Structure 1
Amino acid sequence: MNTKILAAVTIAGLTLASCTTIPSSSSPQALRTFEPAAQGVENAGPYPGQEPDLLVRDFFTNSVKPIQRHQAARQYLTPEAAKSWDSQTGMLVLDRIDVNSLPGASDQKISYSVRGPVVGSIGVGGVYQPEHGQYEATIDVEKRDGQWRISNLPPGVAVQHTELRNNYQPYALYFMDPTDNDLVIDRRWVYSGNSSLNTALLSLLVEGPQPVLRPGVKTYVPPGATFSGFNSGVYSFSGFGDLSAEGRYRFAAQVVWTLAKAGVPGPYKIEIDNTPIVENSEFLTVEQVAEYNPGASAGAASPLYALADGKIKSVEGERAVPLAGEWGEVSGISSADFEAGTGLVAAVQSTGEEPDRRATLLLGKIGEQGRRGVEAKTLSTPTFENSGNAVWTVLDGRKVARVARSTTSGDLSHTEVDTSELEGYEGLISVLRLSPTGVRCAFIINGRVYLATVERPNAGNRKLTNVREIAPAIAGTALTVDWKIDGSLLVGTSTPETPVWQIQSDGSGLTPLPSGNVTAPVVAISASSSTVYITDSRAVLQLPISTTGVAFWREVPALQGQRAAPIVAK
């Protein structure tokens, strides 16, 4: 049993049984709420003569509403239980809730067993954490003045996943990547009944990134700084001291894009310590911080390439042609990646026969000769950092190497990524992919999908930290993984019924893609801003990202009749 999950549930006064082992960085904690002081209690409560089992079910339905310490749910309790129930110890998210009476019931008292599969938890600041186990609790119901009320229950809150979706919405906070070039999504869940979404989000923004993301991002909020509120059309912050003009501008980009992506209309009047956040700009719009547009890459060109018969080809309409220059002549390629901004290609070339077969990383610009980097018996598919001048690969399934290219000479150097937090994980890393911002890293071990934050101890070194399993529900089936531009993950599996999944970066959403004409296993996957590409057991297929409902994948015209792996340059 996973001791971290057990500890988390002990805090909540619940029991998790039959757990599988998954990494977890923190215990579920009380979810902050952002209701304004004048907001009243929602109209809820048991109806006269309500039957006890329905009362228990309605209690759980209303437990998802956090207003005034879950006052809507407390109306289902006896006065004593309503006073003593601690609803702030954590919120567990269940796939379903089963309610069954226990032996010994009378016309005045009934005990119910409440069970359900745990899929996640909500912690401080609306942070979702995937979990995997079994919820089990006993709830006593008594008849008071002719009406059934809950008289005894464990602390904490348990809600069905559908109720979470019905009452909370995910929003994106934005923090800077370590290079100050990109904004990184920090996904949070906020109660839909909150009438002050703008102040809720900015309060969270000032408090900083969630713990698992913190080592990989930057914030320009100094210790002790606060969000003073939204008054007379002004977003006011205080305690920022001597923040530089560059720092104020970058924090302004965080504020503007956090509000804009949440649907809060601009322009925005933002002040720090009673002065405009950006000098000579009383109001800010997204156009003024357009260089940090988190969706800018969605409109950029994403060339499609393919690896077939050991050679890399460029897909141009209905033709697949060899790459220009010497890259078009290189054979024995087993995997590759492209970086659209720099025009670099990284490829793994395999030579020799077993047991002496070797794999070598080649890195260089299209049209030029690739330089030789690291070598091992096996190398995983290379993956580029967001700078475009460094690439990662896994040596023999164990060591992760970072190969950097000099922008002046083209010379290569390599360092080993610190993977010490992976000690104890049994199995080899089969696939490893860096996110578009380079702050997150997804990888597969024994068919399980894990996510880690990329920490930069210094300029040239990298470390994988805060490792957690992102989709326990599909454990053991994952074969390939890649990132969508929006920060979610695409996973190809060996499962015939659900060969392709999309996973939200916090693990809160696991959605199967259409599977009607896909034949598992799906061994390769890649995506542009408009299209998902896969290689199943028969062909290279494509599906528009905008597809909804029942849909069928189509073969990529240029790759019909040949075994190939799609590669989208990002």
Structure 2
Amino acid sequence: MPKYSSRRLRRIVALLALPAVVAAGCSTLPSNTSPQVLRSYDPAPQVQPMVGPQDGQEPDLLVRDFYRASALPSGDYAAARAFLTPEAAREWDPEAEILLVDAIDLTTRGSASSGDARTLEVRGNVIGTLEEGGSYITQNGGYEASIELAKVDGQWRIKDLPAGVVIERNELRNQYQPENLYFYAGSGQALIADRRWVFAGKDTLDTELITLLMEGPAPSLEPAIRTVLPPGAVFAGVEDGAYRFNGLAGMNEEDRMRFAAQLVWTLTTAGVPAPYEAIADGSPLLPELEEMTPDDFADYNPRASTNTVPGLFALNKGNVLRVTGTHVEPISGPLGDGGNVESAEISAVDKVAAVRSTGERSRLYLGDLSGTPVQAIEAKTLSRPTFERGGEAVWTVVDGQKVNRYVRSATSGQVVETEVDTSALENLSGEISVLRLSVDGARVAMIIDGKIYTGVNVREDNGSRRVVSVREIASELGGMALSLDWQPDGSLVVGTSSPDSPVWRVEQDGSSLTTLPSGNITAPVVSIAANQSTIFATDAHATLQLSSTDATSSFWREVPGLQGMRSAPIVAN
């Protein structure tokens, strides 16, 4: 397990809140914003600390309050600097790193110390870092540091400490808020979310998000992104309520429309009120739309999948069933009455992919829901298939190791097989038991030996696919994951073998995980699925559902139509 200390901190810089600067009725941002710190043209005004040390405060309590204050970046961390001696306040570099720990543990070094000096040892379990621009990256290691204190005018102050900032998990939630930036996947047709943590103590959320949008996607997501902005494009600030941009003169009409959609949906999902006015190089970004609203870009809505209820199906005794209200019936064809289906997936456009057993071997079949599927591959084992966005291509894991992609030709009916580049998994041991593509198709979630990993799906110029930016999340589950699925909001629901907490929600970036009600659901949870309002799970006894929108819902109920039928739920996405 790695340890993070003052001598091993990497250069990771915090996202700072943009101070509001008003001059001649115009609030502006730099035309050449630093990728490390967001600042206005003018020097940041001095900000009085929002919290500070108390008179006569004991060393351990002062250090704890210092770490709480470190979550406040306003005024170049003025609140935290108030706990330091004057010399330490001048020399401390909070921008060396932002580490997130589960909790801070303090112990005094040595059994004796002088009356005017004290050293405290700080320890914690590192759960993540905040990277440039507020991206959360999961980590798993230990943190150790020494804090030296001295008395200044009779009051304890910190005189020596490591560079960087350490924030407890609770303070991250209290002082920062997650927001989504939106960028285009490789096809350039769909907006996908890039989750960022933004300091909540300022009222300049719109300008902060636009500045981050102009800087581009997080490094982990960048390989999958198609950029529509030309080099040199910059956000020039706000004037008379209009967002102003420079360097967009060479953009064609289609890319201007796409950038406008990025801008609108980033602001809309963050709760910034519409309409929006955007000026590019002195003229409206879109001449026909001087004021823009989400309705103007409905075709680009990244949350469109949450506006319709997808169909529900189930796999029971080797047959695929359609669930309509309280009525259940087999789908037509061999997948509905053959009795040998191991797993299945159905897309929103009525495509079906199913794995059928022949005894010692498994076969993948592809087709239309109302037609006769054709065989794509035979192998010793095949994982449950998962569709790309649009439902034309499907992925499966062959024999626990190799990930293949299959597309059935609309004209010839022939199935084309290509191998997905998963070289990013080479250092991971174990078989891939579950693989699921996100609703937008941009991300991959996997279970490997009970551990959860996520990655990014890159579409290469030749049409091939590559999985990159693979990292483990939800390590707290201790390798007990059995099933998982993406929710429309980008989070994961995970079924486990834990008798105490069978089902969990895991945020897209792994920044937090929450146990779902467990009073009447029994591990193991071997199958799980979700739509925008409901989570479906197969536990040790039945097929159950739980409302994901009703905060008061605390009990799982049997799925209407599937009472007494222990089935695997299938949500058509």
* TM score, norm. by length of structure 1: 0.94
Do the aligned partners of 2:547 and 2:553 also contact (CA within 8 Å) in 1? no
C-alpha RMSD of the superposition: 1.5
Distance verdict in 2 for CA 1:215–1:33, change over 3 Å: same
1:76 match: secondary structure: coil
* TM score, norm. by length of structure 2: 0.93
Choose the corresponding residue for 1:339, options 347, 356, 367.
347
1:168 aligned residue: 176
1:86 aligned residue: 93
Distance verdict in 2 for CA 1:105–1:549, change over 3 Å: farther
Shift of 1:240: 2.1
Choose the corresponding residue for 2:12, options 29, 35, 38.
29
Shift of 1:550: 6.2
For 1:39 and 1:485, the matched residues in 2 are separated by 42
1:374 aligned residue: 377
Do the aligned partners of 2:185 and 2:192 also contact (CA within 8 Å) in 1? yes
1:56 aligned residue: 63
2:248 aligned residue: 240
Do the aligned partners of 1:28 and 1:92 also contact (CA within 8 Å) in 2? no
For 1:57 and 1:390, the matched residues in 2 are separated by 53
Structure 2 residue ranges without an equivalent (≥5): 20-43
Matches within 5 A, 1:260-339: 260-339=268-347
Shift of 1:35: 2.6
Distance verdict in 2 for CA 1:50–1:130, change over 3 Å: same
Choose the corresponding residue for 2:542, options 515, 539, 543.
539
2:102 aligned residue: 95
For 2:450 and 2:76, the matched residues in 1 are separated by 41
Q: Which has the higher mean CA deviation after the structures are superposed, 417-426 or 553-562? A: 553-562
For 2:226 and 2:63, the matched residues in 1 are separated by 45
Q: Deviations over 1:336-395 (max 9, x none)?
A: 00001x21010001102xxxx111110101111001102210000000000210000000
Matches within 5 A, 1:35-434: 35-36=18-19, 37-38=44-45, 40-103=47-110, 104-340=112-348, 342-352=349-359, 357-434=360-437
1:18 aligned residue: none
Structure 1 residue ranges without an equivalent (≥5): 16-26
For 1:321 and 1:135, the matched residues in 2 are separated by 56
2:32 aligned residue: none
Q: Which has the higher mean CA deviation after the structures are superposed, 407-416 or 458-467? A: 407-416
Choose the corresponding residue for 2:440, options 415, 437, 440.
437
Q: Which runs of 4+ in 1 moved over 6 A?
A: none
1:21 aligned residue: none
Q: Deviations over 1:462-512 (max 9, x none)?
A: 001111112111131111111001111111111111111111111112111
1:558 match: secondary structure: coil
For 2:354 and 2:46, the matched residues in 1 are separated by 59
1:472 aligns with 2:475: yes
Shift of 1:28: 6.0
1:551 aligned residue: 554
For 1:512 and 1:301, the matched residues in 2 are separated by 25
For 1:365 and 1:43, the matched residues in 2 are separated by 61
1:559 match: secondary structure: coil
Q: Deviations over 1:497-537 (max 9, x none)?
A: 11111111111121111111111111000011111000011
Q: Which amino acid aligns with 1:202?
A: I
Identity %: 48
For 1:447 and 1:30, the matched residues in 2 are separated by 33
Distance verdict in 2 for CA 1:140–1:38, change over 3 Å: closer
Q: Which amino acid aligns with 2:219?
A: P
Distance verdict in 2 for CA 1:230–1:39, change over 3 Å: farther
For 2:310 and 2:465, the matched residues in 1 are separated by 27
For 1:478 and 1:560, the matched residues in 2 are separated by 25
Do the aligned partners of 2:15 and 2:199 also contact (CA within 8 Å) in 1? no
Do the aligned partners of 1:69 and 1:88 also contact (CA within 8 Å) in 2? no
For 1:187 and 1:115, the matched residues in 2 are separated by 28
Q: Deviations over 1:119-176 (max 9, x none)?
A: 1111100010111122111111111111110011111110111111111000000001
Q: Which amino acid aligns with 2:381?
A: T
Q: Which has the higher mean CA deviation after the structures are superposed, 254-263 or 97-106? A: 97-106
For 2:377 and 2:283, the matched residues in 1 are separated by 52
Q: Which amino acid aligns with 2:299?
A: E
2:162 match: secondary structure: coil
Q: Which amino acid aligns with 1:234?
A: A
2:511 match: secondary structure: coil
For 1:347 and 1:279, the matched residues in 2 are separated by 49
For 2:563 and 2:50, the matched residues in 1 are separated by 60
Shift of 1:326: 4.3
For 2:330 and 2:487, the matched residues in 1 are separated by 26
Q: Which amino acid aligns with 1:129?
A: I
Do the aligned partners of 1:533 and 1:540 also contact (CA within 8 Å) in 2? yes
Do the aligned partners of 1:327 and 1:366 also contact (CA within 8 Å) in 2? no
Shift of 1:319: 2.6
Shift of 1:549: 5.1
